Structure formats: structure tokens, C-alpha cells
Chains A and B, each alone.
Chain A
Amino acid sequence: MSTSSLLATLAGGLYTDENIFALEQQRIFEEMWFCAVRSDDLGKPGAFRTVQVGRESVIVSRAKDGSIRAFLNVCRHRGARLCAEESGEVRRAFQCAYHAWTYDLEGKLIAAPNLTKMPDIDRVAYGLVKVHVREWLGYVWVCLADEPPSFEEDVLGAVVTRLGDLTSIENYGVENLKVGRRIVYDVKANWKLIVENFMECYHCATIHPELTEVLPEFADGYAAQYFIGHGAEFGAGIQGFTVDGSPGVDRIPGVTEDQDRRYYAITIKPQVFVNLVPDHAIVHRMFPLAADRTVVECDWLFLPEVVESGRDLGPSVELFHKVNEQDFDACERCQPGMSSRAYANGGVLVPSEHHIAIFHDWVAGRLGLTR
């Protein structure tokens, strides 16, 4: 253990250098499990979404048999982008807008001009390039690696590291919840600044007045993520995880007494944050698009009957929406400083931020950099 109060951060250049970002795309986002799409967003066969994963555009869609498939969004003929839209629905097939090469919902090449004159074309071999898929928490996770890492170790393991076990998250039945609200944030900051921000609470008393009101212990600067299995407790007069401390909506039935009136936060590297409170879950998915740009899709998930009832989710959504805006403003405030000579060697982490050094070591390790 270090005896110093301060630990070094990463150097500023790691947040601005396009070559570093390209390396992160290759060795982090294209190698690891990446949380791409809410399964419910793919309602019926043919529904699709396209997402940016590392350097690749990926089509995530529902096949005829109801299962979810993912493909690189590239026609095998001449490389045209197959689906230009962010989301949509095809009736029966994906068709390239260039020469009409046509692929079924399982990715197989089924038609093309003059195809029957080229009987040597293997319609499976020239099908869309498949991407590995897993479903968990009601989300589609994809992995672009030929041999994906263990989902159990990397994804479930991150939850166990934070909460102590898997049961704690299973109690919330996140896969059965419905999206009550989704807000997409276009953040002009490096993805690592957003991860670091989410991991610490040294900033909470300064920039999150509403959150600190609901979770008074956050004023200490020690985030829930500093500990294992710790949920930050609601303040004495607080009735729910809402912007004004008013009662929330119906509690999720599986949530235990120990978990009631507490907030839990989990970072699943490299791009997911899960927040759990008794009556809802908030899931952030980050889509790093450039060294200085990250799109964050944030879902507020409630019991289906709560969403269907049309009840006012405003106070619940407003609390973390404010937190998001406050956090992303802070990240955008940091981004320009990353290329200053004042930050060439980086900055420092105070003790309540020391656990961020583990994240920094992990990033450096993935990129093959020595710190």
C-alpha cells in the first residue's frame, strides 16, 4: 500500500490521443463483452438497431425464431453499409442498397442479381459476419472477438466484485423491468473520464446537491463503489429515490429488507453502469465514438405495471437525470484540460478516489502500456 495521500492518474495524452483511442477500440471495446441494446427494443422478427462497437457498426436484430442475432453492418459483396438507420424494421431480409445483395434474418445470403448463374457461391460463407451475442439483465451484449472472454468472469464477475454475490442483483429482476424513460446524452469527453467520475463521490457534495440530499453519506466523498456489498442509505426524511425525496413508485417485489432504502452502483467494464434502488434500476450504456466524444444511453427501468399505469415517473427520472447532467458537465470541463501541458503527466487521486487507480492499471494493462 502507498503511504502517500496521492496517487497518480493516467497522463493527459491518454484522454486525447487518437492513436490511444484506436488502441482502446481494438483491445477493449472489440475484445470485451459490450452491452449494446435493450432486448425489448427489438420487438418482433426483423426489428433491428445499429450500434457502434469499437471501430465497427453492428446490426443487432431479432430473427424469425425470436432469437437475437448480431452481424457486422457490412455487405459481403463490395463493403457497403447495410443498414444506414440507427433503428428500424425489415420485413424479411436485409438488403444492400447498392447491388441488392439480400440476407435473411439469420445472416445467410439468399438472393442477389445473377446469383443462380454463380452456383459456386456458398450462401453461408458469404453471409453476414456474425458477432457473439448474450442476453442478460434484459440487454443484448455482443462481443466482436473471435473467441469471446468468459461472460461469467468479466460481466457477472464485475457484479460479484461489487455486490459480493449475484443474488443481490437478481433480486431486482432487471430483465423483467420496462423502460420508463430513456435519455441519450452526447458527451464531449473521453469515456474514461466518465467511468472515473462514476466510480468516485469526492465530487458529490459539490456538484450533486439533490443526490447528496437523498444519500447524505455521499457528502463524505466515499462512493458506494469504494466498498463491497455496500448500498448508500437514504437520508432519514427521504421517502424515495426522487429529486425531492418524495415517495417513488412500487417497490420491486424481490428487493430484500436489507436492500430497501439503499442505492447500489456497479461499473461493468468497459462501458456499463448499473444503479439499483428499491423501485427502479438505472442502466447507462456508453458508446465511445472518439477520444473526446462519448454517447451515453441511459434507461430508467420500472416494474411493467408501473410503466403501463402511466404514473408520473418525473420525480424519479429527474433525480438521476440531474446527476447525469452534472456529471457530464464535469467531464466536459475536464476534457480540454487533458491536452494542457499542466496535465501532461496527469493529475492525482485523493484517498477516496484511490480505487480509480485499479481502473487505470487495468486500462494500461489492456493497452500494453507501462505506468
Chain B
Amino acid sequence: MIPACPLAALPRGEAYRLDIDPPVAVFHTDDGEVFAVDDTCTHQDASLSDGWLEGCEIECPLHSSRFDLRTGRVDSPPAKLAVRTHGVVVEDGMIYVVPSDAAPNLPPGLAAGRAGNES
């Protein structure tokens, strides 16, 4: 479990970017649920925590693919692959991310353990 941020510091409708490798985005939905997914869009290196949160969906700020925060599924291109989801635990007012064991679906040019984007 990786501590992200206090629940009180993350208002509903907002996102927190957990700067691990690869980075994780934590969302607090308008309905009060908390989700965590990889922060990077599966299409291009864009930060989903900068995107638009609507209900249980996050829309990439660059090319408008939408990911379901519960399943990671993407609704329409240009992104084709699901975003990896992580577990979330809220304990004593603190949000913890439980990292997934699955392989991430990072965009071309980005691989886990590699922060740069040189082609």
C-alpha cells in the first residue's frame, strides 16, 4: 500500500497525481467514490489527472478518449487499450493505493521504469 494523500485534501471532482513510476492518478468522484488508475493515457503521454472527470469516467484532456475508472475500459479512439486500475484503501482519513500486479498499458515511447520519452 502506498500512501497518496489525505481524503480531506482531495475534494470531490478532483484528482491527485501520485508521482511514482509509472505515475498513478487518484480521483474523488462527485458521488464520493475514490478510484486509482495509471495517470498516463494509453494513447499518448498525457496526464489523466489533468483530464475531465464526469461520473465514473475520466476523459483524456488531449484527445477525448474516456476511461471507466471502475474497469479501466476505454470508450472510443484514439486510445485503444484499457488503462490499468489499482486498488484503493481509505484508512484513518488517508488514501492508499494498492498497486496492480498487471502490466501497464503505457503509450508508445513510455515504458515502466523509464521516465523519458526519447524515440
Contact = CB atoms under 8 A, between A and B. Distances in A.
Interface in B1-52: 17, 23, 39, 44-47, 50-52
Contacts of B17: 116
B50 A115 contact: yes
Interface residues of B, number: 16
B52 A113 contact: no
Interface string A91-103: 0110100001010
A111 B116 contact: no
Given A92-B52, A111-B46, A111-B51, A117 B115 contact: yes
A114 interface: yes
What is the predominant secondary structure among interface residues of chain A facing chain B? mixed
B63 interface: yes
A112 B115 CA distance: 16
Nearest to A110: B50
A93 B59 CA distance: 13
> B17, B44, B61: which has the most chain A beta carbons within 10 Å?
B61
Contacts of A112: 46, 62
Interface residues of A, number: 13
A122 B32 CA distance: 31
Nearest to B39: A116
Interface in A92-135: 92-93, 95, 100, 102, 110-117
Contacts of B47: 111, 115-116
Given A116-B23, A116-B39, A117-B115, A111 B61 contact: yes
Contact of B117 (A92, A110, A114): A114
Interface string B102-119: 000000000000011100
B11 to A, nearest CB: 16
B61 A93 contact: yes
Given A116-B17, A116-B47, A111 B115 contact: no
Contacts of B62: 95, 100, 102, 111-113
A114 B47 CA distance: 8
B8 to A, nearest CB: 24
A113 B63 CA distance: 10
A177 B39 CA distance: 49
Interface of A: 92-93, 95, 100, 102, 110-117
